[in-house]
């Protein structure tokens, strides 16, 4: 008898807590990201919302909004909005959060990273952990690390081999100080503009060029319709992170928090691998091809890769861009050195702003994989 009533009581408590928690959940949560849905970044966002919806049996229903539309396009405002709860969560570039979190400029230090291995090592190392902790202190539950990618410059006027080639060109950059300083130091004329306005800027000639990652942004944008020249200089990288308003995250049951954390990890890895497809040593391709084989990716990756497949069935980003009529040059080590030297004052200044300890930790992680 006693056992039976205890059992009934437990059932009652269980039903009650599920009911109470379900009552606390919003009908729909908002997630912001800065580009369109037909990019690896956008696909990562939708993959995350799909995984969460399925695995919580619809208890957590997230809607992803591209183009920073929840902030009327103002991409550098999203972190504040997640922080104050007017947006529930975001899948965002470190660049767009760096005006509020100066330490994130670590990834924007010019010519700091030489390889994908180094990026991964820094993210997984002490510096990466420090950055996650810093975001959490600000009231946003962070998950790392996806990737927009190494950022390459394109323009409508000429190939770039040395800093002087940039001198009379107007470049669109994100509204983040370090970008303005880098381009000024290189003698060019940077103009800040939200990404949503950039294509109009290219069409109207307000700007001659821009810098963005090849697979995550430039191929989906069909950059060859605006710019004939691309210079591959891997001058800096922007990882992507998921950030969830802390109160929103805390309102989820422990089980749902687990599900969200696991989905974030899987979606970010999927997104990173898709954004690196054809750019790294083959790791990304192997990862995505395996997902496609297992039917795990909801078709996103497959559809995307089909849009820029070469006739021989391969996806070589630079060959593809050339086939679209672009002139692509890769800076030689000597050429790159000139840019590195020229941007050194900006580098030195920003090491102080970011924090010398963090930069040293990052250098240690980088060196561990060299
Ligand atoms: O604005 C950009 O250049 C973009 C799309 O790469 C970011 O959101 C950082």
Domain ranges of the chain: 26-367
CB 62, CB 29: distance < 8 Å: yes
Statement: residue 204 has pLDDT above 70: yes
User: Which of 176, 217, 239 to mutate for ligand 1's pocket (most ligand atoms within 8 Å of CB)?
Assistant: 217
Average pLDDT on 284-303 reads 92
Q: What's the chain's average pLDDT?
A: 94
Statement: residue 257 has pLDDT above 70: yes
Q: What pTM, to 2 d.p., does this model score? A: 0.94
C-alpha 210 – ligand 1 centre gap (Å): 10
| Cα-based distances in Å from 103 to 116, 132, 353 | 20, 10, 7
Distance CA 360, CA 366 (A): 10
| 224 CB-side CA count, 13 A | 15
Statement: residue 10 has pLDDT above 60: no
Check residue 24 and give its pLDDT: 86
Average pLDDT on 179-205 reads 96
- Higher pLDDT: 16 or 207? It is 207
| Cα-based distances in Å from 49 to 54, 242, 268, 271, 363 | 9, 12, 12, 13, 35
In short, whether 297's Cβ falls inside 6 Å of ligand 1 is: no
CB 42, CB 66: distance < 8 Å: yes
The residues that bridge with 189 in the sheet, in sequence order, are: 170
Q: Which CATH superfamily is domain 26-367 in?
A: Bacterial extracellular solute-binding protein, family 7 (3.40.190.170)
Statement: residue 71 has pLDDT above 70: yes
In short, whether 195's Cβ falls inside 6 Å of ligand 1 is: yes
Distance CA 273, CA 29 (A): 26
Statement: residue 244 has pLDDT above 70: yes
Helix (H) and strand (E) counts in the chain: 17, 10
Backbone angles phi, psi at 13, to 5 degrees: -60, -40
Q: Which atom of ligand 1 is nearest to the CA of 92?
A: 8
Check residue 307 and give its pLDDT: 96
Please report which confidence band the pLDDT of residue 5 belongs to, taking 50, 70 and 90 as the band edges: low
The residues that bridge with 29 in the sheet, in sequence order, are: 62
Ligand 1, atom 6: nearest CA belongs to which residue? 212
Distance CA 289, CA 25 (A): 36
Statement: residue 13 has pLDDT above 70: no
């Amino acid at each position: 008898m006693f056992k039976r009533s205890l059992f009934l009581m437990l059932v009652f408590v269980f039903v009650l807590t599920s009911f109470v928690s379900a009552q606390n959940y919003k009908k729909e949560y908002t997630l912001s990201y800065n580009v369109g849905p037909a990019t690896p970044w956008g696909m990562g966002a939708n993959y995350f919302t799909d995984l969460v919806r399925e695995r919580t049996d619809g208890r957590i229903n997230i809607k992803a909004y591209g183009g920073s539309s929840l902030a009327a396009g103002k991409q550098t405002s999203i972190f504040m909005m997640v922080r104050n709860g007017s947006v529930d969560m975001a899948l965002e570039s470190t660049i767009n959060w760096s005006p509020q979190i100066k330490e994130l400029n670590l990834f924007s230090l010019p010519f700091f990273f030489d390889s994908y291995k180094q990026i991964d090592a820094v993210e997984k190392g002490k510096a990466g952990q420090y950055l996650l902790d810093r975001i959490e202190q600000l009231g946003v539950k962070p998950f790392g690390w996806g990737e927009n990618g190494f950022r390459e410059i394109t323009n409508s006027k000429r190939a770039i081999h040395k800093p002087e080639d940039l001198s009379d060109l107007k470049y669109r950059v994100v509204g983040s100080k370090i970008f303005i300083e880098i381009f000024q130091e290189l003698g060019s004329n940077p103009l800040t503009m939200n990404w949503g306005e950039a294509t109009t800027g290219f069409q109207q000639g307000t700007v001659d060029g821009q810098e963005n990652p090849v697979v995550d942004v430039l191929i989906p944008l069909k950059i060859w319709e605006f710019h004939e020249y691309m210079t591959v200089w891997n001058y800096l990288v922007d990882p992507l992170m998921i950030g969830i308003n802390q109160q929103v995250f805390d309102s989820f049951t422990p089980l749902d928090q687990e599900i969200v954390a696991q989905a974030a990890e899987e979606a970010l890895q999927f997104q990173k691998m898709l954004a690196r497809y054809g750019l790294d040593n083959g790791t990304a391709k192997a990862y995505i091809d395996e997902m496609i084989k297992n039917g795990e990716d909801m078709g996103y990756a497959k559809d995307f890769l089909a849009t820029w497949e070469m006739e021989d069935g391969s996806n070589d980003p630079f060959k593809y861009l050339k086939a679209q009529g672009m002139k692509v040059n890769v800076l030689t080590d000597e050429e790159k050195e000139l840019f590195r030297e020229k941007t050194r004052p900006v580098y030195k200044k920003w090491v102080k702003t970011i924090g010398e300890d963090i930069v040293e930790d990052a250098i240690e992680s980088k060196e561990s994989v060299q």
